[in-house]
Amino acid sequence: MTESAETRGANAPRLTVDPPTRLFAIIRCIGPGLIVAGSIVGSGELIATTKTGAEAGFSLLWLIILGCVVKVFAQIEFGRYAIVSGKTTLRALDEVPGPRIRGRGNWLVWYWVLMWIASISQLGGIVGGVGQSLAISLPLTERGADYNEIADAETLLQFQRYAPDDVAVDVSAAEQQIATSKQTYRERHQDTTRDGISAPNDAAIWAVVVAILTSVVLWVGRYGLIQSLSTILVASFTLLTITNLFFLQDQPDFRVSLSEFFSGLQFHLPASQGENASTTARPIGTALATFGIIGVGAAELVVYPYWCLEKGYARFVGRDDGSPEWLQRAAGWMRVMRVDAWGAMIVYTFATVIFYLLGAAILHRVGLNPEKDNMVRTLAVMFVPVFSQWASAVFLFGAFAVLYSTFFVANASHARTFSDAMCVVGLIGDDPQTREKWIRWLSGAFPLLCLLIYLAFPAPAQLVLLSGVAQGVMLPMLAAAALYFRYHRSRAELTPGVLWDIMLWLSAAAMLVTGAWTVAEKFLG
């Protein structure tokens, strides 16, 4: 089955392949879900999920788990139609009834364009996060090194205010030392800021380097490279985070008790921000934005079938000739796709829960909220109780791994979906050669576009949450499309059972509630 890893595009010549039947053979053929997981475990888990935990405590754990699990049913429905029809997601969405511009796409396609603008802005936030992690660990200028020393001291002081009773912390002396360091910083670097100190340009410089390198790699990259790199990066930091949470249970002031964990599974909203919470915390709004991007968000629902097609699932099934052999192949490769989707769900749900618990157990208790140019530095505090003086280095490695994985995979995904969108709306020719050319060009251009967005608006967490809102609004639209594919684009011989239909409807209902709540919270509140 090695051939499947090297196939490229839904438009490649058809070569039918019998599906694997044994579990290990099926596992060898998965991959699209791992790519999607590489995109998910980054902006959603590391930033948005942790920020929700920092603002809401344990109370919204149930919403985080629901956000990871409930959307998989719609994801599989999109994948099912792609395998049977060989059509990309946007071409499939263009078949959904509703207003349309003749020859230029329908309402779903055009809203996707609006969501894409927010999603590419999210990647601007991601490349900013990567730049921050590198600037903290490897400052490029003397000013950057001095700034890191002061910012680290301020963040550590906030942590120390929550220090155990048996640890003596002279807060007044620490505050005086920070004030003196700031004054020295202003004099040394001719900083005229009154209330604080201005951040250096090290993060922006690193973001430029990362964006250019990513542009080159994606220009020459192929499916196998994307799958392998994303899997390695995500797996490394996930294991590191599991280790952190495990040893955190030896810390009396930060351990996650069973009562706290189970309280988070009860369906209720946070009562208050708590005495230590940041004054900028808006836990409900943050949670709604997070729900849109954790697990398979709207962007991942759209892009997942593209990776299924590029992996070769639809091509292996072949064109529908109505024969029993075709039905057998279709059912078999759908089974592979389901294993792929559910396996990826287990991975990113587990990672999501861990990130949320760390945010609730440490950042919420300490009163830190990951924001703006100190986002990565604040997130690193989650590793202080266990790794102490090594916390920054350990976290920065992990932050780079998952943030860069998201940046890398999402730009590759956007190149494929956007080039397809241009075909659907009639901006470019609808042929394989033209589409492949645009995929390559956009793969090189999009990382640079993300960089420009970050340089114009250097607030990574806000850029990520903006995308979450846009995706949250699109979720009910995609739920309706999934139901349309189920009942109007399914072969009778391949339709799922009653239990599946019930779960698909429940998934659609949850996505509808999320979309309606997001609109009410963000636009009517």
Domain that holds residue 393: 2-35+61-140+203-256+285-353+386-524
Residue 190 counted as domain residue = no
Higher per-residue pLDDT: 230 or 274: 230
Residue 219 counted as domain residue = yes
Residue 370 counted as domain residue = no
Residue 378 counted as domain residue = no
pLDDT by residue (tens digit) across 28-52? 999 898 888 777 765 556 777 888 8
Tell me how many domains the chain contains. Answer: 1
Residue type, 459: A
Q: How far is residue 369's CA from residue 353's CA, in Å, rounded to a whole number?
A: 18
What H or E segment, with its residue span, contains residue 315? helix 313-317
Task: Answer whether residue 168 shows pLDDT above 60.
Answer: no
Residue 268 counted as domain residue = no
Q: Which stretch of 34-38, 222-226, 264-268, 518-522 has the lowest confidence by average pLDDT?
A: 222-226
Task: Answer whether residue 272 shows pLDDT above 90.
Answer: no
pLDDT, residue 232, reads: 78
Q: What is the CATH number of the domain that holds 438?
A: 1.20.1740.10
The answer to whether 475 and 292 have CB atoms below 8 angstroms apart is yes
pTM above 0.75, yes or no: yes
CA-closest candidate to residue 35, choices 65, 73, 79:
79
pLDDT, residue 350, reads: 86
Residue 505 counted as domain residue = yes
What H or E segment, with its residue span, contains residue 456? helix 432-456
pLDDT, residue 241, reads: 83
What is the arithmetic mean of pLDDT over 63-67? Answer: 85
What is the arithmetic mean of pLDDT over 491-513? Answer: 90
pLDDT, residue 381, reads: 83
Q: How far is residue 300's CA from residue 344's CA, in Å, rounded to a whole number?
A: 12
pLDDT, residue 82, reads: 95
HEC profile for 249-274? Answer: CCCCCCCCCHHHHHHCCCCCCCCCCC
Residue 50 counted as domain residue = no
Residue 47 counted as domain residue = no
Question: What residues contact 110, with CB distance under 8 A and at least 6 apart?
Answer: 101, 425
CA-closest candidate to residue 403, choices 140, 63, 208, 124:
124
